[in-house]
Amino acid sequence: MGFSLQVCLPPSTATNTATFTLIRPVTNLRFKPPLCASTQQQLVVSEENELKSINGAPEENVPLPLGLRRESIPKHVAVIMDGNRRWARLRGLPVDSGYEAGVKSLRTIVELCCKWGIRVLTVFAFSCDNWFRPKMEVEFLMSLLEEGLKEEMGSYLRDNIRISVIGDLSKLPKSLVELIRNVEATTKNNTRFQLIVAVSYSGKYDLVQACQRIAMKVKDGVIEPSDINESLIEQELETNCTEFPYPDLLIRTSGELRISNFLLWQLAYTELFFAQSLWPDFGEAEFIEALRSFQRRRRSYGG
């Protein structure tokens, strides 16, 4: 850690004395008077930056990686985290090790989203079809999700991150559902970044449950069939939990070229990026590549 020496000469003093101030490059250092004007200005800026950090606001002064433009950073990124099992098998490891490695990749991407100003990240953690996998694997995934939510609660609060979970939660263990509800309630007022975790989810499920909710409103006389339109359907989709329900960019890892029943309605005008990396190998370099690809495109929204 370096120091800079600053000399401030008072404009009118009886003696030719100087005030020397050692400035450490940290935000929480407090100085004692006397302070020169430039040092006071540095303290004001430092304290403002510290407050921004505490409140979790996107850090505008954090430089983006080379080739990325801040004005073109997507607000909402969705990810199909594919390839955990293949990653483990290629290394002769148990499948559980692949999922654990995948959690580390998710932490990295969340940190980068917060750092670069991406507002929402939606990840496909467990699909409706995944219930047909071996029982021990399913139980491990449920326990991994539960442990992860418990362990990360402190960081969610510290970093001003909101957590939302979408999907058919009726199929999840009761203890996990209670934990999810608690985490959602505890973080609901956090505003820096939102992580949406899709569990026991499918795009078809989302559309069906939206239609069922609308049908009940018609049955109860709340609305007429003629009132049903795109806007009404969108209000009933599970992504109504966020200010930005439509992903700007979808990333799928592992080289597979399909969206696998994920966010079918919401992806109507989303840009797609298919990465060759398996999810546990997907890190900062691969994320930058996806964002650069996104920023090179001209989005026409069907026009």
Q: Rounded to an integer, what distance in angstroms lies between the CA atom of residue 207 and that of residue 77?
A: 20
Average pLDDT value for residue range 162-181: 98
**pLDDT, greater one: 2 or 119:** 119
Q: Rounded to an integer, what distance in angstroms lies between the CA atom of residue 94 and that of residue 42?
A: 53
Alpha-helical regions (H) of 220-303: 230-236, 284-295
Average pLDDT value for residue range 95-110: 98
- Kindly indicate the confidence band of residue 120, based on its pLDDT and cuts at 50, 70 and 90: very high
Q: Exposed/middle/buried for 4, CB within 10 Å: 0-12, 13-18, 19+?
A: exposed
Q: pLDDT at position 299, please?
A: 87
Peptide bond before residue 245 is cis, with ω within 30 degrees of 0: no
Q: pLDDT at position 59, please?
A: 60
- Indicate the average pLDDT of the chain: 86
Q: pLDDT at position 60, please?
A: 66
Q: Are 295 and 72 in contact (CB under 8 A)?
A: yes
Q: Are 73 and 291 in contact (CB under 8 A)?
A: yes
Q: pLDDT at position 54, please?
A: 43
Alpha-helical regions (H) of the chain: 37-55, 84-90, 95-116, 135-158, 174-187, 203-219, 230-236, 284-295
Q: Which residues are catalytic?
A: 82
- Find the helix or strand (DSSP H, E) in which 282 lies: none
**pLDDT, greater one: 231 or 17:** 231
